[in-house]
Chain A
Amino acid sequence: LPVAPETEDEDKNIQLVENYLRNFYKLETDKQSHFKNKNVNSLTEKLEEMQAFFGLKVTGKPDVDTLEVMKKPRCGVPDIGQ
């Protein structure tokens, strides 16, 4: 069956968040994890770290403002610990 557009968007966003935090904030996850297992805390912490770095409201959640920053063109060097 085709995936509902909103589910598709949500999956894309989850992927975006995980990739972003893995690339720039040293998030370590196994690829199956998403938000539903033992790595949730780590992901939340990394998300908070990212939000603090960019001066966003620190919610630990991938809100609209956070996703907007993650979609911006940027330098490939990590924001923490090269």
Chain B
Amino acid sequence: YVLTDGNPKWERKDLTYRIVNYTPDMNSADVDKAIQKAFKVWSDVSPLTFKRIYDGNADIMMSFETGDHRDNSPFDGPDGLLAHAFQPGNGIGGDVHFDEAESWTKGSNGYNLFLVAAHELGHALGLSHSTDPGALMYPTYSYTEPNEFRLPQDDINGIQTVYGHSDNPVQPTGPTTPVTCDPKLTFDAVATMRGELLFFKGRYFWRKHPQMTEVELNFISLFWPSLPSGIQAAYENVERDQVFLFKENKYWVLSGYELVYNHPKSIYDLGFPKNVKRINAAFNDKNTGKTYFFVGGKYWRYDENRQAMDQGYPKKIINEFRGISKNVDAAFQNGRYIYFFIGTRQFQFDPNVKRVVSVMKSNSWFNC
């Protein structure tokens, strides 16, 4: 996190705000809710309180403005600049302006008002832009489902540096952004996709081409706004050019970067019994068309051609994959090998000799 130059801050903890005007893009009740929720993001983690007033001068005046609105920071029409805010202080200090030329929404289309308002309020309270790509105070817009939003730890650290801790007896904590070369890095799921590797972790995924050194960390929501965070298993069916992503008892199907169905499907449609509540890992064997699903210490085998589970499963993982115990986090096939991820370690398994031939760090693909 970065504090604003000169460390400006509000000297009072009880601040007022006013919504000066409304956007025609949303109904006013939804604007009120989005703004109120944005204030709550900061009041939950600091000793600050925010009271709405309906006329007169509030500490934080929030308005929708167009083009040059006489504050020396003109807006630029659709996209580009979305909003801005002024650091704590009198007069225009603390005020928040939204570019009316944007399409404001309460969902994932256009720009989500709650997310932008929460970011701008960070400025109004004395925070500058963070270099942490997962932080709310990162300069560029990225969508997160508002109901799943949790203020990242980087922003909590920032606001608490300025105003101290929350008055709550239990201090709130927030998600941290994974560090690509962290030796303790673990993955939720790994899959191939059209020659690239996708590594899933929380609300992020890394994209890596095996022959290129660069690796790219992205929000899952940037590519697939309707997908949840915390994908638990993933595999690619090369024949059908589809990637399957699993969370709890649901799965989503991707074709390239498009979702095949708008709604998730049930894993029970694949033939799992009802006592299976989630899948830990999966991979598809390109040579046989069989998909292996790992659940606890057992695995199921699914025939992609027949679209049905093979008879005689589940079996114990240890019987087929010697050296691989239970709790497989992720798996994928690359060339002649299967790679199993368990905690911070990665096991390279050769199915021809049926044994582990190499053990590496989980992030060995990232050229750390």
Q: Please report A residues at the B interface, Cβ cutoff 8 Å.
A: 24, 53-55, 57, 69, 72-77, 79, 81-82
Contact = CB atoms under 8 A, between A and B. Distances in A.
Contact of A82 (B5, B81, B133): B5
Interface in B115-154: 116, 119-120, 123, 128-129, 131, 133, 139-141
B80 A75 contact: no
8 contacts: A73-B81, A73-B141, A75-B82, A75-B123, A76-B83, A76-B99, A77-B123, A82-B87
A61 to B, nearest CB: 16
B182 to A, nearest CB: 15
A81 to B, nearest CB: 5
A73 to B, nearest CB: 5
Chain B's interface: helix, strand, loop or mixed, by majority? loop
A82 B124 CA distance: 12
B80 to A, nearest CB: 6
Which of A55, A77, A79 has the largest number of chain B CB atoms within 10 A?
A: A77
Contacts of A53: 129, 131
Interface of B: 4-5, 73, 75, 79-85, 87, 99, 111, 116, 119-120, 123, 128-129, 131, 133, 139-141, 214
B99 to A, nearest CB: 8
A82 B4 contact: yes
A58 to B, nearest CB: 13
B5 A76 contact: no
A77 B97 CA distance: 11
A24 B81 CA distance: 11
Contacts of A24: 139
B80 A73 contact: yes
A79 B4 contact: no
Nearest to B111: A73
Contact of B75 (A69, A76, A77): A76
Given A24-B139, A82-B87, A75 B128 contact: no
B82 A76 contact: yes
Given A55-B133, A74-B82, A79 B139 contact: yes
A-B pairs, top 7 by smallest CB distance, nearest first, are: A76-B84, A76-B81, A72-B140, A73-B141, A74-B140, A79-B129, A74-B139
